[in-house]
Chain A
């Protein structure tokens, strides 16, 4: 019979029940969508790595004969190895623009056994015909197709190659030339050429500059690296890079890790919101059914049966919510994973229904619903039947008091009942007000946290543009140059100032770990990079004193602070150089390390000051012309105007924006449903009171104003709490998300706060309308007689 009652109760409260179901389904669908798309992405990347035999590590050498490869293949722990030439050259684009082109050798007669390629269109090249396979990312960005000819520049020499196929590669899923640089698919082309042609093109026939290795299953990668490095020692090993540190793989790893964090964190927040919403609704249900509870118990139903009856509401909502949520979540995950994989250029898409996600969805929703249902259900079972059945009409509408705040503010508070009644209502049922405030603030959490991500990126971009990157054009060369080139550029029309830097590839080792990367060496007085020193000396003193400035992410990874020393190994010297950490700077992107040009001499063993990067302050109108001229200088690898760099960054954020947009939509939907449920219940609970006021002649308009004022008062209390909780959520999220690649700080802009507050108020106003209309259409005679 209690089952029948559950069914009828659910039917009687269809709208409220549907609202709760929606909240739980949204929570579960977020969990399923995020978990599944995370697992799909991981599975797709793993499949691409496995199918295409992505190298466990690569060792870069200055130049070694290809014949050394046989010896390497015989080394213990080596499963497969390929040697190849890898070198960056310049690629002419239309209208004088240039891109960086990376030439990568592949075996002449067969497919590579390590770092294989997936031919997406066209055919494999024939050795001796200057044919190349073009990586799909650049092809997509520029519209290049098989049959196109590309012009490469090596110094003054120009060579044409013919594209015969478009390929995907496990090494370049993220189109980044090196770790720490930003993806720039339009300005970074990867061309795979037969070994013979690559050797001819680069003037290194029969040589290799990179050995890529897949190790035996279970082999210790570190030991295999040592063996390979030992074997290649005579040819000057530059550095070995493990798969996890490989530029694209590193960024993908970061992406997957961010997904993992988001897939755990956000559903947890959403389910907490669902759970609290359910708790509020069930508490109200129990309160409104005191009489029925008393009757059931008086008829002989046990406490356990009553407890079970009210828990059944949670169970029904949990089961239906998980089914609905799972279906919705899987649908979203399918779309998101497909979009994600295609945007990242992962050549395989894996979509599965994961048993752990199904179990998790059912488990977490059951847990959230039962956690919400247990307290009200327990309360219901503890109500003594006599007390529950005793309906005292004088107590039916609850207690009233003049709140302390009203007494304190009485001189300034409006005297009209239009204001006084709502004001007292807020304090009248503290539990209801508390639930409403909690409901609204929880509804805000996700919206605020997500919006703060947009704002954080915006602030980061502003900081990049206005604070960190103090130049107009940046040029990178693969051949070092002297001060004479800086002087030459300085004389160009439109150039206001030129500063040079030398970026030295380096392995930085601390007591804790080793970081592969580069050190940017500059004059102590240089200001093309703006520092925000968090700890230690000011940049000029720090660099003058021969110390290094570490970005905070680098310092965190290395586990060092100001005063510590690190040892640095560069490809140019056998010995390691010990350098003191003079300062730590807050850096938003990457994990940069800075030193002076004097220190660069120690690191490279060179006696003279050389540069390979140039930072130009230019007249805005002439920036593009200057860019072209810088591109024409010998060894130009990439020349970028700052606005283009910001544009690239924004492109990189495209998917993140899509992802966050999705979250914002979730957050907003969730917020809407929660606020709607809460306010609907708030208004409907006072049907009799509002009907009474209408009966004695109060106008509908004034009553609507009273309800609105009450809700606004609750909203005013809830919004700051919601924003605070949202920001703390964002803080916690960023702490998990921040990595070597970027550091985000939770910020929310005043205009975002205004939009959020406006939206909440709008949602609140919209949410009031249906219950108010329902009350206004009530049979007043009935409503004034009903005991609530």
Chain B
């Protein structure tokens, strides 16, 4: 079923390259329709920033629902609000207005401490610049995240070696970040994100700093995680071809979701080119 929103929004379904639109919801209908599968819900979210004398609206009354197990790519020009959207979903930032609900938790009014705990339990991040801790080996970087989770809830089934093996780095466990290529580092970052067994994996330009070949390796890792464990993966990117591997593609413009594309048959990462 088509989930979501839907006020003045063009929703398209890609069927063999065709975008099929749907009528926006009319008066009386709720703006956001959620189901049991809904993992992320944004309701009428506004995010404004003060920049000197002026106020910038990064997100302007945005509504959105993301389902469990979805692979979502967010596209949009610079300044369209895609990173802000990711930050709000990931609990790095809080909305100025509206609600952000993730996995049943309304995080909109959380303080720093609650947001930290939320990120620790529910979100795995993959950054553009990998951001591994340089003094720790690949195994230790993943262990660091595991230690966080174990400290919190005693969860201890996964090992760093297992997770690194999942992303194809079984042979590079004891290498330090400076001894790994960019692609390998990003795969360690994916393993670190998985370590906490999060409900949601967020990637902010995860291939933005990689060449085509290594970027694809990272996408493969993320895709495999998504397929194997059914994790919800949300990627923000400028890179249009990445949209082909997503279940849904959200286009942002001027702080609002301007278009949603649904891929009926998303491609495997090896199938894309950029």
* A interacts with B: yes
| A785 engages B119 (CB within 8 Å) | no
Q: Is B177 an interface residue (CB 8 A)?
A: yes
Known contacts A400-B137, A421-B136, A695-B125; A785 and B204 CB within 8 A of each other: yes
Q: How many A-B residue pairs have CB under 8 A?
A: 113
Contacts of B148 in A (CB 8 A): 696-698
Q: Is A401 an interface residue (CB 8 A)?
A: yes
Interface residues in B106-134 (C-beta closer than 8 Å to A): 112-113, 116-117, 119-121, 123-125, 127-134
| A394 engages B180 (CB within 8 Å) | yes
> Could you say which interface size class chain A belongs to?
35 or more
In the complex, which of the residues B131, B136, B178 has the most CB atoms of chain A within 10 Å of its own CB atom?
A: B131
Contacts of B119 in A (CB 8 A): 695-697
Known contacts A400-B176, A695-B119; A689 and B133 CB within 8 A of each other: yes
Return the contact of B177 from the options A397, A694, A695, A699 (Cβ within 8 A): A397
| A784 engages B127 (CB within 8 Å) | yes
| A700 engages B133 (CB within 8 Å) | no
Contacts of B127 in A (CB 8 A): 692, 784-785
Contacts of A694 in B (CB 8 A): 116
Q: Is B92 an interface residue (CB 8 A)?
A: yes
* B53: min CB distance to chain A, Å: 19
* A420: min CB distance to chain B, Å: 8
Known contacts A425-B135, A689-B134; A697 and B129 CB within 8 A of each other: no
* B173: min CB distance to chain A, Å: 13
Known contacts A399-B178, A781-B87, A785-B128; A696 and B120 CB within 8 A of each other: yes
* A416: min CB distance to chain B, Å: 7
Interface residues in A389-409 (C-beta closer than 8 Å to B): 393-402
* Residue of A with least CB distance to B205: A785
The number of chain B residues with a CB under 8 A from chain A is 45
Return the contact of A421 from the options B121, B133, B180, B193 (Cβ within 8 A): B133
Complex CA distance for A398 and B180, rounded to whole angstroms: 13
Q: Is B145 an interface residue (CB 8 A)?
A: yes
| B177 engages A696 (CB within 8 Å) | no
Contacts of B93 in A (CB 8 A): 779-781
Contacts of A393 in B (CB 8 A): 128-130, 182, 209
* B265: min CB distance to chain A, Å: 33
| B134 engages A400 (CB within 8 Å) | yes
* B67: min CB distance to chain A, Å: 24
Q: Is A569 an interface residue (CB 8 A)?
A: no
| B133 engages A394 (CB within 8 Å) | no
Contacts of A781 in B (CB 8 A): 83, 86-87, 92-93, 204
Contacts of A424 in B (CB 8 A): 135-136
Q: Is B216 an interface residue (CB 8 A)?
A: no
Q: Is A509 an interface residue (CB 8 A)?
A: no
Q: Is B185 an interface residue (CB 8 A)?
A: yes
* Residue of B with least CB distance to A788: B129
Q: Is A417 an interface residue (CB 8 A)?
A: yes
Q: Quick one: CB contact mask for A697-719 with B, threshold 8 Å, 1 for yes?
A: 11110000000000000000000
Contacts of A698 in B (CB 8 A): 116, 120, 148
Complex CA distance for A399 and B130, rounded to whole angstroms: 14
* B134: min CB distance to chain A, Å: 4
* Residue of B with least CB distance to A690: B133
Complex CA distance for A696 and B90, rounded to whole angstroms: 10
Contacts of A395 in B (CB 8 A): 178
Q: Is B147 an interface residue (CB 8 A)?
A: yes
Contacts of B86 in A (CB 8 A): 781
Complex CA distance for A416 and B136, rounded to whole angstroms: 12
| B204 engages A700 (CB within 8 Å) | no
Contacts of A428 in B (CB 8 A): 134-135
Contacts of B192 in A (CB 8 A): 696
* Residue of B with least CB distance to A781: B87
* B261: min CB distance to chain A, Å: 25
Complex CA distance for A396 and B131, rounded to whole angstroms: 9
| B182 engages A400 (CB within 8 Å) | no
| B135 engages A692 (CB within 8 Å) | no
* A772: min CB distance to chain B, Å: 13
Q: Is B231 an interface residue (CB 8 A)?
A: no
Q: Is B143 an interface residue (CB 8 A)?
A: yes
| A780 engages B92 (CB within 8 Å) | yes
| A697 engages B116 (CB within 8 Å) | yes
* B253: min CB distance to chain A, Å: 20
Complex CA distance for A697 and B148, rounded to whole angstroms: 7
Q: Is A304 an interface residue (CB 8 A)?
A: no
Contacts of A780 in B (CB 8 A): 87, 92-93
| A692 engages B120 (CB within 8 Å) | no
| A397 engages B125 (CB within 8 Å) | no
Q: Is B181 an interface residue (CB 8 A)?
A: yes
Contacts of A396 in B (CB 8 A): 129
* B182: min CB distance to chain A, Å: 5
Complex CA distance for A693 and B143, rounded to whole angstroms: 13
Contacts of A699 in B (CB 8 A): 113, 116
Complex CA distance for A524 and B116, rounded to whole angstroms: 82
Q: Is A688 an interface residue (CB 8 A)?
A: yes
* Residue of B with least CB distance to A392: B182
Complex CA distance for A400 and B134, rounded to whole angstroms: 5
Q: Is A62 an interface residue (CB 8 A)?
A: no
Complex CA distance for A698 and B132, rounded to whole angstroms: 14
Q: Is A787 an interface residue (CB 8 A)?
A: yes
Contacts of A688 in B (CB 8 A): 129, 131
| A697 engages B176 (CB within 8 Å) | no
Closest 10 CB pairs of A and B: A697-B120, A424-B135, A400-B176, A397-B134, A692-B131, A393-B129, A400-B135, A400-B134, A697-B119, A780-B92
Interface of B toward A, CB cutoff 8 Å: 83, 86-87, 90, 92-93, 112-113, 116-117, 119-121, 123-125, 127-137, 140, 143-145, 147-148, 176-178, 180-182, 185, 192-193, 196, 204, 209
A-B contact pairs, 20 of them (CB 8 A): A395-B178, A397-B177, A400-B176, A400-B178, A402-B137, A416-B147, A420-B140, A421-B135, A424-B135, A688-B129, A688-B131, A692-B127, A692-B133, A696-B125, A696-B193, A696-B196, A697-B119, A697-B120, A700-B116, A781-B93
Interface of A toward B, CB cutoff 8 Å: 393-402, 416-417, 420-421, 424-425, 428, 688-689, 692-700, 776, 779-781, 784-785, 787
* Besides A421-B136, A696-B120, A781-B86, 16 other A-B contacts (C-beta < 8 A): A393-B130, A393-B209, A394-B182, A417-B140, A421-B133, A421-B135, A688-B129, A693-B144, A694-B116, A696-B148, A697-B145, A780-B87, A780-B92, A781-B83, A781-B92, A787-B129
